[in-house]
Amino acid sequence: MFSLQRSLPPWLRHKPKLRNTLYGGLVVISALVLLRIAASSLSSTPSFSFPGADPHVTSSEWNSRAERVKEAFLHAYHGYEKYASPEDELRPVTNEGMSGYNGWGATAFDSLDTMLLMGLQDEYESALKVVKAANFNVSRFAGGQVPYFETVIRYLGGLLSAYALSNDTTLLQRAESLADAIDPVFKTPSGLAAFAQYNLGMQHTLAEFASFQVEYTYLAKASGKKKYMDRVNKLNEIFRKTNLQGSGGMLATFWDTAGHPRDSANKVSVGAQADSTHEYLLKQFLLTGKTDKFNLELYLKATAYIITNMLYLSPNRGLLYVTDTAVPLWTDSLAGSPSHVFEHLSCFFPGLLALGAHTLPLNDLESLGINLSSLFTGSTSELYSTLKDYDLKQLHLWAAEGLAQTCWLTYADQQSGLGPDEVMMLAPASSREWDPQLERWRQVGESSLWINAMDKWKKSGGRGPMPGVSDKPPVIWTEEDRAAKRPNRRDYHVRKAGYLLRPETVESFYLLWRATGDVKWRNRGWTVFEAIERETKTGSGYVTLKDVRLKPAVRGNSMPSFFLAETLKYLYLLFKEDDILPIDQWVFNTEAHPVPVFEWTAEERQRFNIV
């Protein structure tokens, strides 16, 4: 048997005082080493290993990565310019143009501010020729209609952002001309914007009619013209009159032409048809120098309901996700009836929560004149009871990090390294069934709502990992695994396998990086960019994918304009060392077009009837 005493030289064995001194020194050194290791592990961010996860990337290397994104943008725009301009978008496999958004050159409009931020003056001057030549009175969309939502966020947003960055008044004039040309879209019984200028009889979906506030508010400020703010004020007036008790304080998704939430088959969601409206509640408050208190209150109500009733944990991996749910009014339950579909579009939401936690005094809302206990009344008072003992800022950040982690894993789990458009989460241990005797829905089994798991964790004194927030390794489940009937341990099935070059996941990475300073969001963004380069690049641009589960992935034949406006812009800003657009000084519209925060003058408040 090994013995330290016997291994010592004879001269030291017979000198106990010297020997004891040596032992004591070794103990002290060992203790210091252990303390150093422990301190290092406590101060570092827990993370699993994945390609590109080096936390010690230098500043110059990050700037070099931003330059790589700029090169990708140039490759994409030059391909569009060569093969598609002045059509709206490029088909990067067959090298031809396509027009689905009026035929005015959507990619040129959408790219203006990205070019300015990247310092691409030659490309900017070239794009301006397309912008100046566009005829806003003639649309090549179906039946000559103008799709209002897409026109506002891509064209109007692009013009206003480029104006804000360049101070070129020609762009402001073009923005006014566009807003005036599409103004007939408001000629509806309610005054709400219809989907298209010449199709005014359709039902309204929330995102379609209520995602123009940021653009029109900034246009009113920049132009000094009241008529643009009147459109925003009318929307706020309709929302003020709407009883939201039946939808948990949230704005429902489907509305009738009279300006009321539809009374059957409705839902609440942060995904398709609703996402950008909830986004604009916070951003309208921030844009106006934190003065639009009404929209802030709507944001607080919406996030309270989402956090307590729409966030779920998957049964095995504990993935945190947000899903749409039937409006509670029609299910006789505050939590409604969840679909457990998790959309890529919903991956903007963690970034929104991070932005709110970064810019709002969530634990001191009384400093803004808001009392939470009086904000939640009637059926929504339960929301306040659930949240009142939490550190609200910390809770929003936890939710943001957990949701963004799941968005990341839907990428990392795929062989291609890119995320599918929709997944269906495995049914949780809890389910709901209709009780014919009670004539109401009832819960079966334990609830998988995240807030319930958080309550248990909180009551335990925070023992163990926080539910849904801790980092998790990817789980690759291939087509070969499925054919061999091996178990799917990812906790979800891919519902829509395509990758549409969407920005939402990297948008949230960018906002979380700026809000928390955690480098893992940059590292994950770089891994996503490498996958985009590897899987989607063509000789003329970048292409959508039909199935991300395969490697190489099956390709489509389109390059949406938002890839240049949003995806590449957010990646560029994520890697750029200089914070060129501080998130407390600029507000991004839902197409990633930034406009500056401002304050109304007393004269403007009176002239524009701003409450």
Residue holding tokens 């027009």?
A: 99
- 567 appears as a binding residue in the annotation: no
Residue 79, number of CB atoms within 10 A of its CB: 21
pLDDT of 300: 98
**What is the token pair recorded at 353?**
């929560």
Which residues, 6 or more positions from 549, have their beta carbon under 8 angstroms from its beta carbon?
A: 414, 415, 416, 420, 478, 479, 494, 497
pLDDT of 207: 95
> pLDDT averaged over consecutive 10-residue blocks of the chain (611 residues)?
41 46 46 42 37 72 98 98 98 97 97 98 98 93 85 98 98 98 92 71 83 98 98 96 90 90 87 96 98 97 96 95 76 65 98 98 96 91 93 98 98 97 82 54 64 95 93 90 88 96 98 98 98 98 96 94 98 98 98 98 95 78
**3-state SS assignment for residue 204:** strand
Query: Whole-prediction pTM value?
Result: 0.88
> Closest Cα to residue 438, out of 335, 336, 333, 339?
333
**3-state SS assignment for residue 586:** strand
**What is the token pair recorded at 474?**
């990817």
How far, CA to CA in Å, does 493 sit from each of 222, 318, 490?
Answer: 47, 15, 8
pLDDT of 479: 78
Is residue 149 within 8 Å of residue 207, measured between CB atoms?
yes
Is residue 583 within 8 Å of residue 515, measured between CB atoms?
yes
479-492 per-residue burial string, b: 16 or more CB within 10 A, e: under 16: eeeeeeeeeeebbb
Strands 254-255 and 267-268: unpaired
How far, CA to CA in Å, does 87 sit from each of 81, 161, 527?
Answer: 9, 21, 32
Strands 254-255 and 204-205: antiparallel
Is residue 525 within 8 Å of residue 569, measured between CB atoms?
no
Give 550: exposed, middle or buried? Use CB within 10 Å, 0-12, 13-18, 19+.
middle
